[in-house]
Amino acid sequence: MIKAILVFNNSAKPRLIKFFEHYPEEIQQQIVRETYQLVSKRDENVCNFLEGGTLIGGNDYRLIYRHYATLYFIFCVDSSESELGILDLIQVFVETLDKCFEVRHFFLIQNFPYLFFL
């Protein structure tokens, strides 16, 4: 099950945050910071899967991400999800965004209300 979708740029500024479980806003901000810390310090040539952070569930959750240009697309899922299936979902999501808005964080900011319709 998908627990959260996070999209942020190389400067750690969130461009899309959607949690599918209730977390207080303060905890959400901590999750975004922790997730950025975990993902941004990884090399480009390593696996795109890692264990969830301490705030979002630890070993029972996985962070699956892709880094495109200046944006990180991160899905937080539980252990029942297929990692390769989620990577494919991220690819389809990015291709859809590219067709609709061109995947640049400037366009995501301008067209923010339309992202939730996709």
**What DSSP line would sit under 28-60, residue for residue?**
HHHHHHHHHHHHHTS-TTS-SEEE--TTTTGGG
pLDDT of residue 111: 52
The yes-or-no verdict on residue 116 having pLDDT over 70 is: no
Domains of the chain: 2-115 (3.30.450.60)
Q: Which sign does the torsion angle of CA 49, 115, 23, 33 carry? A: positive
pLDDT of residue 32: 87
Residue 105's closest CA among 67, 66, 68, 70? 70
Per-residue pLDDT tens digits for 46-76:
888 887 666 666 667 889 999 887 888 999 8
pLDDT of residue 57: 62
- Cβ contacts of residue 102 below 8 Å, gap of 6+? none
- Cβ contacts of residue 98 below 8 Å, gap of 6+? none
pLDDT of residue 38: 86
Q: Which of 9-13, 103-107, 110-114 shows the highest mean pLDDT?
A: 9-13
86 or 99, higher pLDDT: 86
- Predicted TM-score of the model (pTM): 0.78
* Mean pLDDT of the region 2-18: 87
